[in-house]
Amino acid sequence: MTDTLVNLASPEKLFIGGGWTNSSGSDGIEIISPSTEEKVGRVAKATTADMDRAVAVARDAFDNGPWPRMTGPERAVYLRRIAGEMAKRSDDFARAWSMQVGMPYSQSSMTAPFMGGYYTYAADLAEKGFEEVRPALAGGHAIVVHEPVGVVAAVVPWNAPLATLSLKVAFALAAGCTIIAKPSPETPLEALILAECIAAAGVPEGVFSVLTADRDVSDHLIRHEGVDKVSFTGSTAAGLNIASIVSARSGRITTELGGKSAAIVLDDADIGKVVEGIMPNLVGLCGQQCAAFSRILVPLPLKGAVEEAMAAAMQYVQVGDPFVETTQMGPLVTQRQHGRVFDYIRQGKAQGARIVTGGNRPAHLDRGWFVEPTLFTDASNDMTIAREEIFGPVGTIIAYGSEEEAIAIANDNIYGLSGGVFTQDVERAYRVARRIRTGNFGHNGRVIDYTIPYGGFKQSGVGREGGVEGLHGFTEVKAVFMQELPAHLKA
């Protein structure tokens, strides 16, 4: 039995290759509500032996099964079925997100019904096929083929479990890969619900597995010789370690890692749009977003106005129980994360930054891992709060003198994931965008779109997810030279 708020048929079993099975160990993983600090469920804890079994099943399904040998349009049929099954479970997905992470249910329930879109979009790409004919210099034709990379380990974090998992699973399935999903131990439920959807869609045996496990077993998966590609979203420290392990065997890897993104407010910016564009980054998911605009670069003459407007907006945010309709921001995900964010707040004050608003636990909440939306000012780019990823609802205002100085500050960081510029001048916005070394950049706000490639420069990761680039990330490229084209490729 389980007391989770979702409808899972086998919450304390593993999903290996299409069937539910017991773990070879006797331990489980307890799910703790970040709002109440109480246990709300339990799932199975996989062992290294279970991981070996899952890899063997995925390996056999890739080497000998039908999935990689289907055409793109044939796989697309299954992807559309998965999307249909997900639509039936949208409330389960929403409740799981709110219960495990603290995402306000008013927001998760609006987002969850659209999660099947990852799979229908991947189906659209698969239907376009994986072959391109080009003329060869020596005459004849070159057929450039994208073939599935093989067995994929999809390792995802806890902040947006279904979205980050779907960026991997939907596109890897479309490419013809077999997949072992390893969710975060803090947020296993979405992956298990997805497994039920994939089973209901009739995806062939061996193609998809979910193993709920601690991080030591995840390390075993990453090191496994039977895994051809690791797709990882998480911290930069973990990503760099994974990259070194996988690269040592010439394995393929995609990583989407940390960020310390800058919002560059130019001197002609509309202050209302600044607040509107930055606030969702700082309070959405309680600021636990790798692409959050956590550094706010402001021209000195606008500093007071931006401080006042941002502080007013933060003070208006309703913090509390994610299942209360009026809640706009829930808690941080774990006690460890709670302590980490408050440690950064202490460091900010100790290094001379000034708190405009926030910096404490909300007075009306005596349990749960809550923190007030917090705004620092009078900061410099060499302070810890400006250098490191806090992963909480904390923004830091840094004043600058010239546009050139703002660009230099924005680029002066080990990360390069996202960013944005706030200005009423389109030409100026694009000019600034081209000079910032990040994988994604917005004008008067931030956009994340799974139909467009997403990823980072520098220590924010390697490769891209989403868009056709995300699909091709799960393929190997082969050039086949032919003097004459096969019938299916003739015009």
Burial class of residue 176 in the structure, from the number of CB atoms within 10 Å of its CB (0-12 exposed, 13-18 middle, 19+ buried): buried
Q: Within a domain: residue 214?
A: yes
pLDDT in tens, 4-53: 457 898 889 999 999 999 999 989 999 999 999 999 999 999 999 999 99
245 with 280, same domain? no
Query: Terminus-to-terminus CA distance in the chain, angstroms?
Result: 59
212 with 344, same domain? no
Q: Within a domain: residue 488?
A: no
Q: What is the 3-state secondary structure (H, E, C) of the chain?
A: CCCCCCCCCCCCCEEECCEEECCCCCCEEEEECCCCCCEEEEEECCCHHHHHHHHHHHHHHHHHCCHHHCCHHHHHHHHHHHHHHHHHCHHHHHHHHHHHHCCCHHHHHHHHHHCCHHHHHHHHHHHCCCEEEEECCCCCEEEEEEEECCEEEEECCCCCHHHHHHHHHHHHHHHCCEEEEECCCCCCHHHHHHHHHHHHCCCCCCCEEECCCCHHHHHHHHHCCCCCEEEEECCHHHHHHHHHHHHCCCCEEEEECCCCCEEEECCCCCHHHHHHHHHHHHHHHHHCCCCCCCEEEEEHHHHHHHHHHHHHHHHHCCECCCCCCCCCECCCCCHHHHHHHHHHHHHHHHCCCEEEECCCCCCCCCCCCCCCCEEEEEECCCCHHHHCCCCCCEEEEEEECCHHHHHHHHHCCCEECCEEEECCCHHHHHHHHCCCCCCCCEECCCCCCCCCCECCEECCEECCECHHHHHHCCEEEEEEEECCCCHHHCC
Interatomic CA distance for residues 31 and 480, integer angstroms: 50
Query: Which range of residues forms the domain containing residue 371?
Result: 262-443
**Catalytic residue list contains 131:** no
Interatomic CA distance for residues 386 and 383, integer angstroms: 5
237 with 365, same domain? no
Q: Residue 1: what pLDDT?
A: 28
From the candidates 190, 290, 372, 389, give the one annotated as an active-site residue. 290
Q: Residue 11: what pLDDT?
A: 86
Interatomic CA distance for residues 130 and 379, integer angstroms: 50
Q: Within a domain: residue 301?
A: yes
135 with 266, same domain? no
Report the candidate in 234, 229, 233 with the shortest Cα–Cα distance to residue 253: 229
268 with 253, same domain? no
Q: Within a domain: residue 22?
A: yes
Q: Residue 5: what pLDDT?
A: 56
- Given the structure tokens 């707040």, which residue do they identify? 345
pLDDT in tens, 163-177: 999 999 999 999 999
CA 398 vs CA 239, 296, 304, 306: distances in Å:
29, 6, 12, 11
Q: Residue 6: what pLDDT?
A: 74
From the candidates 186, 256, 372, 389, give the one annotated as an active-site residue. 256
285 with 214, same domain? no
Q: Which residues of the chain have pLDDT under 70?
A: 1-5
Instruction: Decide if 268 contacts 423 (C-beta within 8 A).
Output: yes
**Catalytic residue list contains 256:** yes
Structural domain count, the chain: 2
297 with 359, same domain? yes
Instruction: Decide if 442 contacts 265 (C-beta within 8 A).
Output: no
Interatomic CA distance for residues 293 and 85, integer angstroms: 35
Q: How would you list the strands of the sheet with 141-148, edge to edge?
A: 131-135, 141-148, 475-482
Give the CATH number of the domain where residue 33 resides.
3.40.605.10
Q: Residue 101: what pLDDT?
A: 96
Q: Within a domain: residue 7?
A: no
Give strand pairing partners of 161. none
322 with 224, same domain? no
Give the CATH number of the domain where residue 424 resides.
3.40.309.10
Q: Within a domain: residue 3?
A: no
Q: Within a domain: residue 8?
A: no
Q: Which amino acid is at 34?
A: P
Tokens of residue 334, six digits? 């774990």
344 with 464, same domain? no
163 with 232, same domain? yes
69 with 190, same domain? yes
Q: Within a domain: residue 169?
A: yes
251 with 269, same domain? no
